A and B are shown apart, each in its own frame.
Chain A
Amino acid sequence: MTSTKQNGEVRIGYFVCHCGHNIGATIDVLKVADVIKNLPGVVISREYKYMCSDPGQEMIQEDIKEHNLNRIVVAACSPLLHENTFRRATEKAGINQYYFHMVNIRENASWVHVDKAEATRKAIDLSRAAIQRVFFHQALEKKQVSINPNVLVVGGGISGIHAALTLAKAGKKVYLVERDPTIGGLMAKFDKTFPTLDCAACILTPKMTEVKNHPNIELMTYSEVEKVSGFVGQYKATIKRKPRYIKEDVCVGCLDCIDACIYKDGKYYDEFNVGLSKRKPVYIPFPQATPQLVVFDPEACVRLKRGKCKETCVEKCDRDAIDFDQKEKFEEIEIGSVIVATGFQIFDAKKIPYYGYGKYQNVYNALEIERLVNSSGPTGGQVVMRNGEVPKKIGIIHCVGSRDEKTNIWCSRVCCTYSVKLAHLLKELSGADVYNFYIDMRTPGKGQEEFYNQVMREGVHFIRGRVAEVTDWAAEKEEQGKLIIRVEDTLIGVVRRIPVDMVVLGVGVEPHSDADKIRRLFNISCSTEGFYLEKHPKLAPFDTASDGVYIAGGCQGPKDITDAVAQAGAAAAEALALIDKGFIEMEPNTAFISEDNCSGCKSCIPLCPYTAISFDEEVFKAKINEVLCKGCGTCVAACPSAAIDQNLFTNDQIYNEIDGLLKYEIV
C-alpha cells in the first residue's frame, strides 16, 4: 500500500462472475479467483456462473455475514449496468453500500479481447487494483434533494404534444417550447397517415387544441431555449420569445390584417407549404395553426424593414393588436425535468445531383407531395405539377439519402411505407400510372405489410433496383418532353428507361442541422450520425446520460408517428416517476476540503463550474458547498496542497488502483 490511512481491519470478499460464457469463455475465471485469494486483506475469493442472479447475490450476503466481511469486490460486467444491484445486495447484508466496488471484466476485457491469457491477466490486474482500492473505502450516505415538479418539453411536434398532454393530465405544470409560430410539427403537413390512411389533421388538431386549452400547459411558440443551468430536479432555463409584432393576448386570430396587407398576393416562401405557394409578410402558417395568431415576418414586412409603410393592416385591426415595437424577450423558467422532442429534418435531395431535384421542375421531394395531395394544400388536393399539367405517369424513387455510403448510411425507416402511401394517394387523385423503385421493401410494423400488398393489388408497379439517374435526355420519340428514369430492374436483370411526367424522391430523414445546439444545452450525447443518444438502446431508449433529461420522437432516430407517440408517452411516464418520488438521491461523490491542509491559495475557486467553492476570509480557507458540488473532481486534481479530496474517488483510492494495476510481479 502506498498510504497508511486505512480504516480498521479490512476483510475483503472477492466474487468473480462467469456470466455464462460471456466472461467464462475468454477469461480463466478459476485462475483469477485463485490469484486474488492470496492478496492481502482477501478473506474469501469465489467464482460463480451468474453473480447478478438471486443465488449469486444471496451468496455474497451469506458470505458477508459468515465471514464478517466489510469490503466487497465483484468482478463482472460494467458498473454502469450492475453497480446498483450489488450495492443493494451489500446493503441488505448490513454493511454500507459504498464498501462495494465493481470491476469491469466483461465490456472491458472478455468481450473485446481474443487472447485468453492476456484477457485473464487483465482481469487479474483490474481485480488487484480494486482489492487495493477498497482498503480506502468509507461508509457514505446518499444525499437527497427535492425536485421541482414542473417539466419543460422542447419541440411541439406530435411527440412533444403527446408528452406535454400526458404530463399535464397527471397534474404537472408543463412549459411547451416550440420555435415555429405554431405547434404541430411535420405531422401537421401530412394529408393521410400510413398504413391506415386516417387523416393526419383529424387526429392531430384536436390534440393541438387540447394543448392550447389545457390549464397546466404554458405554450411558448415562436420561442427557443437559450440557456440551461442547474441539474436534475432543479433546472433553470432561459426562453427566448421572438417577436410576432402582435399582442398575443389581444389578437383573436380574425386574420383581417392579412387581407389588408399592402401586398395583394403572397410573395414570400411559404414554410408550411414548403415553397409550393407564396405567403404575405403577415401570415398564419395554416388555418388550424395553434395558437391562432398571425406573425409578421421582419425580413419581408415593409414597415419592419424600412420603418415606413401605409400600415393598412394597423388601420384594419380594430383591436389594436399590432405592435411594431415589440422586441425579443427573455423569460426564465424553473423546472425539474426536461423532455427533448425536437424531431428530425428531411434529407436535402439537391445533394444527389443525378436525380435532378432543383434542376427539373417536375422532380419533387416527398414532403412537397404531402402538401400537394393535401386537400388543404396549395392546390386544394389536385395533383397539378409546377408546369400546370396533371401527370399521367409518376415515378417514386425510394432510399434517397438513405442506405447510401455517400450520403446517409442508415435506413430512414419511414420512406418505404410513406412512398407506398403516396403512390396510393397519387394514383387515386390523378389516375396516373405509378412506379415505385426500391432497393428492398421495408414495411415492418402492424398493418404495414398488409398495406403494401393492398397498394400492389391496386396496380401500383414496384421495380427493384437503385435508380441510376433521372434525365430529360430523350433517346426515342416517345421520351421527348418526359423525365426518364434509368434503372436496372434487378429482378429481370435488364437496364430499363422509364419515361414519366413526375418524379417523387422518397427522401430520408436525418438529424436537424442545428441539433448540436440543443444537445449541448442539455448535455445529451449523440450517436455518430447525430441523433441524440439514449441511455440504453433497448431498455432506456427515452432516457439520456443527463439525469432528468428525456428524449422522444425523431430526435433520437428515424421513427413513424406510432413509435414517436409511444416513446413520448414513455418519456413522460419516466418524468412522472421521477417527479412523484418527490426527491432525488445523489451519488455522494462530492469534494471536500481538509481545513488543516488548505493553504488558502484560492486556486480551486475559479475552477469550479458550479461556483460551489467559496473563500472564508476569516479563517483564510476555501469551503465547498456540498449541495452545489456535482462531483467532477476538477478542484481535487488542482489543489497544490492536496487539501481537497473527492468521496468515492479519493486520491488514496486512485493511487492504489494505479499501484494495483501495475503490480504484475505478484502473478
Chain B
Amino acid sequence: MELKSQNDTWKPRIVAFFCNWCTYTAADLAGVSRIKHEPNVRVIRVMCSGRVDPQFVIDAFVKGADGVLIGGCHIGDCHYIDGNHKTIRRFAMLKRILKDMGIEDERFRLEWISASEGEKVKTVTNDMVEKLEKLGPLGLPKKFIAWDEEMNHLELEISKPKEEIEHV
C-alpha cells in the first residue's frame, strides 16, 4: 500500500460534523448496511448540530479542508428540541461570510439526515465529492503562504530607504 500520493493526485478533503443522534447514527447504519461511498469525508462527532461553532467551519477551511459538511436531525427531530434551528441560522450567516471570502457555495453544506437514512449519507457524500472535484482544491494554507510572501514583499518595499522610493 503506497500512501505518498497525497499531492500528485489531489482529492477533496471534507470535514464533517455529524450530530450523535441522527446523522452519526445514519453513518453507522450506512456502515452496517455496507453502503459504499467516497472516502473523502472525515467525521467529527458532536452531540447536536447546534454545537457546531461557526469558527469550527472557518478553522477547517483555514487548515486545508476543501469542503465542510454539517449533518443534523430533520427539523422537529432534534434530540435537544430545537438545536438544529440554531444551526440553520448560523449556516445562513456563515454562507454569507464565506461568500464574501470568495469560498464557493458548494464547499459548505448542511444536510438533515435521520438515523434511518443510511442511503442518504452515501448520496450526500458522493454528490459533494463530485462537486468539489469539479471546483478543484481550495488550498487556503497554500494561499496563506503566498499571501504572506506578498505581504513580506510589500513590507520590504515600504521599509526601503525613502530616497530610493522617490527615485522610483
Contact = CB atoms under 8 A, between A and B. Distances in A.
A609 B3 contact: no
B88 to A, nearest CB: 12
A545 B50 contact: no
Given A525-B116, A662-B60, 5 more contacts: A107-B32, A117-B3, A120-B3, A632-B47, A664-B6
A526 interface: yes
B13 A114 contact: no
B115 A525 contact: yes
Interface of B: 1-6, 11, 13, 15, 20-22, 24-25, 27-28, 30-32, 34-37, 39, 42-48, 50-54, 56, 59-60, 63-65, 76-77, 79-83, 86, 90, 114-117, 122
Given A114-B36, A657-B44, A80 B28 contact: yes
A662 B53 contact: no
B106 to A, nearest CB: 19
Contact of A636 (B53, B76, B90): B53
13 contacts: A80-B24, A111-B31, A112-B37, A122-B39, A526-B116, A609-B82, A632-B47, A633-B51, A634-B48, A634-B80, A638-B86, A658-B59, A664-B64
Interface of chain A: mostly helix, strand, loop or mixed: helix
Contacts of B114: 525-526
Contacts of A119: 39
B51 A632 contact: yes
Interface of A: 28, 31, 78-81, 104, 106-109, 111-122, 124-126, 129, 520, 523, 525-528, 533, 545-546, 589, 607, 609-610, 630-634, 636-638, 646, 649, 651, 654-655, 657-659, 661-662, 664-665, 667
A290 to B, nearest CB: 35
Contacts of B82: 609
Contacts of A526: 114, 116
Given A634-B86, A662-B63, A121 B51 contact: no
B4 A667 contact: yes
Contacts of B34: 111-112
Contacts of B15: 658, 661-662
A661 B4 CA distance: 16
Given A80-B25, A121-B3, A634-B48, A654 B56 contact: yes
Contacts of B22: 525
A619 B63 CA distance: 38
Contacts of B4: 667
B43 A108 contact: yes
A637 B3 contact: no
Contacts, number: 159
B65 A632 contact: no
Which of A31, A81, A636 has most chain B Cβ within 10 Å?
A636
Contacts of B117: 528
B69 to A, nearest CB: 13
B43 to A, nearest CB: 6
Contacts of B90: 637
A662 B3 contact: no
A610 B79 CA distance: 12
A115 B32 contact: no
Contacts of B45: 79
A78 B5 contact: no
Given A525-B114, A545-B115, A113 B36 contact: yes
Contacts of A607: 86
Given A122-B39, A634-B51, A634-B83, A665 B6 contact: yes
Given A31-B3, A120-B1, A662-B63, A112 B35 contact: yes
Contacts of B81: 609
Contacts of A667: 3-4, 6
Nearest to A630: B80
Contact of B30 (A80, A107, A121, A664): A107
A106 B65 CA distance: 23
Contact of B79 (A112, A523, A637, A659): A523
Contacts of B63: 658-659, 662
Contacts of A124: 3
Nearest to B84: A634
A665 B7 CA distance: 9
Contacts of B43: 104, 108, 126
Contacts of B5: 117
A642 to B, nearest CB: 9
A665 B34 CA distance: 30
A109 B39 contact: yes
